[in-house]
Amino acid sequence: MTPVTISGATVLLEQNELVVIPTETVYGLAGLATSEEAVNKIFSFKERPQDNPLICHFSSIEHIQKYTTEIPRIAHRLFEAFSPGPLTILLPVKDDQLQAATRGQAKVACRIPNNQDTLELIETVNVPLAAPSANPSGRPSSTTSKMAHDYFLDKPGGILQSTPSTIGLESTILDIENNIITILREGSIGVSEILSVLPKATIYTTAQSDNTIPGQKYRHYSPETPIRRLFTLSELPRSSTVITTRDHQEKFPSNTNLIYIASTNNIEEIAKNLYEVLISIDKQCCEQAYWYVPDLDMSSSLGQALHNRLSKVLIGMR
């Protein structure tokens, strides 16, 4: 894949080719959601399980309305409050235009990304973009254009280059049925944020749904190198590779290979850097790496989302 402008990306998409797009959460591997040919390329490039539907990215609430039978009042209020932003909501799909992206399910996952270049691109092609994270299935998501380039170096298509993703974790996914909100995938918008908009909302945090959604059914986010959580430094073998923060560096022997994920125990910084650090571990040529970030407060919505991702990656994560 090669760097492209918005106009170059438009040409590629209209030819049913794929383009890597930047968003505030992670970079996406995008194709026209209405094109079966483009959607099939996404599944092929990522080696993605065929029954795993794709999030579709729209330019506005009005754009979403063209492809769904209804936007419930609750969903409309949440989109107004948090979009463009890291929020995805499952909505009943209007017809079979998005059937390839939804994998035949009755609902489509709708998101309005918070990146001006990507929004302009969607407005230009005037079609929603199906765009899962720009990485082979199961691997850490790309949060920079270089990460996506390295993953898809030998693939045709383009990369709409931009700055690194500002959040670094995938969007919150919600399902809404009978005015009940179910959080299907944790992200930076959680229960407290939803209640700030809808104080009387009924919210379930256990993902019970008939819909297969990204991050729920299959292995995600993991590097090839096993990473074990350290609870005490006495557990650490000599000459180990350790992911930690800079304020803990003096605790380690001089022969420890330290990979810094942040300067301090800052949730925002750790979340933003997580996937880039996980990918870098595979370049260390070690049999096993370790994670040592003690006393990390993960009580916020972003913290809970970070815990969710780490629980899928770290051995010994509770």
Q: In this structure, what token pair is assigned to residue 212?
A: 């297969």
- On the question of pLDDT at 218 being above 70, the answer is no
Nearest CA to 248 out of 185, 294, 182 is that of 294
What whole-number distance in Å separates Cα of residue 89 and Cα of residue 111? 7
Across the chain, what does the average pLDDT equal? 93
The confidence score (pLDDT) of residue 276 equals 96
What whole-number distance in Å separates Cα of residue 213 and Cα of residue 173? 8
The confidence score (pLDDT) of residue 207 equals 54
SS3 (DSSP) at 193? helix
- On the question of pLDDT at 215 being above 80, the answer is no
What structural domains and CATH numbers belong to the chain?
A: 2-204 (3.90.870.10), 227-315 (3.40.50.11030)
What whole-number distance in Å separates Cα of residue 16 and Cα of residue 75? 31
The confidence score (pLDDT) of residue 145 equals 95
- On the question of pLDDT at 209 being above 80, the answer is no
pLDDT cut 70: percent of the chain above it: 95
Amino acid at 51: D
The confidence score (pLDDT) of residue 197 equals 97
Using alpha carbons only, give the angle 294, 183, 110 rounded to the nearest 5 degrees.
115
Residue ranges with strand state E in 157-230: 158-160, 172-177, 180-185, 202-204, 227-229
Distances (CA, A) of 71 to 5, 91, 123, 194: 33, 7, 20, 17
The confidence score (pLDDT) of residue 8 equals 97
What is the mean predicted confidence (pLDDT) over 143-166?
Answer: 95
The DSSP element (H or E) to which 267 belongs, if any, is helix 267-281
The confidence score (pLDDT) of residue 229 equals 94
- On the question of pLDDT at 208 being above 90, the answer is no
Per-residue pLDDT of 86-139, as tens digits, reads 999 999 999 889 999 999 999 999 999 999 999 999 999 999 999 999 999 999
- DSSP assignment letter at 202: E
Distances (CA, A) of 15 to 74, 127, 238: 37, 13, 54
Per mean pLDDT, which range of 111-115, 208-212, 228-232, 238-242 is the poorest? Answer: 208-212
Cis peptide bond N-terminal to 84, omega within 30? yes
What is the separation of C-alpha 175 from the centre of its chain, rounded to a whole number of angstroms?
17
- On the question of pLDDT at 149 being above 90, the answer is yes
Amino acid at 130: A
Reported as half-sphere exposure (CB side, CA atoms, 13 A), residue 192 has a value of 8
What whole-number distance in Å separates Cα of residue 250 and Cα of residue 253? 8
What is the separation of C-alpha 212 from the centre of its chain, rounded to a whole number of angstroms?
16
Backbone angles phi, psi at 172, to 5 degrees: -65, 140
What whole-number distance in Å separates Cα of residue 185 and Cα of residue 177? 16
Q: In this predicted model, which residue has the larger pLDDT, 181 or 212?
A: 181
What is the mean predicted confidence (pLDDT) over 11-32?
Answer: 98
Q: DSSP per residue over 112-153, as a string? A: --S-HHHHHHHHHHTS-EE--BSS-TTSPPP-SHHHHHHHTT
The confidence score (pLDDT) of residue 210 equals 53
Task: Count CB neighbours of 36 within 10 A.
Answer: 13
What whole-number distance in Å separates Cα of residue 42 and Cα of residue 159? 14
The confidence score (pLDDT) of residue 217 equals 55
The confidence score (pLDDT) of residue 213 equals 60
What whole-number distance in Å separates Cα of residue 139 and Cα of residue 72? 34
What is the mean predicted confidence (pLDDT) over 226-240?
Answer: 92
The confidence score (pLDDT) of residue 51 equals 86
Amino acid at 115: N
What is the mean predicted confidence (pLDDT) over 66-82?
Answer: 97
- On the question of pLDDT at 2 being above 90, the answer is yes
The confidence score (pLDDT) of residue 179 equals 93
What is the mean predicted confidence (pLDDT) over 294-317?
Answer: 92
Distances (CA, A) of 11 to 5, 63, 101, 188: 10, 21, 21, 33
- On the question of pLDDT at 74 being above 90, the answer is yes
- On the question of pLDDT at 243 being above 90, the answer is yes
Q: With bands split at pLDDT 50, 70 and 90, how would you rate the model's confidence at 295?
A: confident
